[in-house]
């Protein structure tokens, strides 16, 4: 019997409540589990419990043969391996990444820095796309609007940055859910777009539900 699929959920929002990415992710996770009730869900919160920033110790430890590592280097490598193991064990990764100051949250950047100190993922020795065949769903909430035709078109640097890592380096198949104008209800300059913001949020839940069922059913094949 094939093992049950694993959903790895990574939250990067610094908000414990009123987080749109967490809200949309809850919808995805709920419908994934409805389709695959036997599935395993692993959660890592790099927003509320961010990993420590990468230092020279963690970066250089990977280049030292295991038999010559100091206890501190061995610990650093074990921590990186634990994060990478979660990725290798996952059929689908649900990555919740709100847009902060035009880029990715700091905790998510540190998580990426950390996983790349595991030699299985480190791109410096050649890009091998080690997670080919797995899927990653990115949920992005954006305070404004950054789509084609908007005044801020091209200002969202998170989407291309994550695409480069997820698709080009790790080799995963990428699906994206965007919710725009999440600050319309508190930003006077966006007040005239509140209704569009409500519709964007509603659409985000609908896409998450449909995508969860599709991906979970695919895992059954």
Q: Is 140 annotated as a binding residue?
A: no
Which H or E element spans position 175? strand 173-179
Question: Diameter of the chain by CA atoms?
Answer: 63
Neighbours of 41 (CB within 10 A): 15
Could you give the 3-state DSSP secondary structure of residue 93? strand
Q: Please provide the distance, in angstroms rounded to a whole number, between the alpha carbons at the two ends of the chain.
A: 13
DSSP states of 184-205 as a string? Answer: TTT-GGGGGGHHHHHHHHHHHH
Give which of 54, 33, 42, 56 is closest to 11, Cα–Cα. 42
Partners of 96 in the β-ladder: 11, 139
Instruction: Indicate the annotated binding residues.
Output: 13
Instruction: Indicate the annotated binding residues for FMN.
Output: 13
């Amino acid at each position: 019997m094939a093992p049950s699929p694993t959903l790895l959920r990574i939250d990067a929002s610094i908000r414990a409540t009123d987080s749109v990415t967490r809200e949309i992710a809850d919808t995805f996770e709920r419908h994934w589990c409805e389709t695959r009730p036997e599935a395993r869900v692993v959660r890592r919160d790099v927003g509320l419990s961010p990993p420590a920033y990468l230092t020279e110790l963690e970066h250089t430890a990977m280049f030292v043969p295991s038999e010559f590592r100091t206890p501190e280097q061995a610990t650093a490598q074990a921590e990186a391996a634990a994060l990478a193991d979660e990725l290798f064990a996952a059929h689908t990764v649900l990555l919740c990444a709100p847009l902060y100051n035009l880029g990715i949250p700091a905790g998510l950047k540190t998580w990426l820095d950390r996983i790349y100190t595991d030699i299985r993922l480190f791109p410096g020795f050649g890009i091998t796309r080690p997670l080919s065949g797995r899927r990653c769903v990115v949920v992005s909430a954006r305070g404004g609007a950054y789509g084609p035709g908007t005044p801020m078109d091209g200002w969202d640097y998170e989407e291309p940055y994550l695409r480069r890592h997820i698709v080009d380096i790790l080799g995963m198949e990428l699906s994206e859910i965007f919710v725009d104008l999440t600050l319309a209800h508190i930003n006077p300059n966006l007040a005239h777009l509140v209704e569009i913001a409500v519709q964007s949020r509603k659409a985000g839940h609908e896409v998450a539900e449909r995508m969860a069922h599709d991906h979970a059913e695919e895992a059954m094949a």
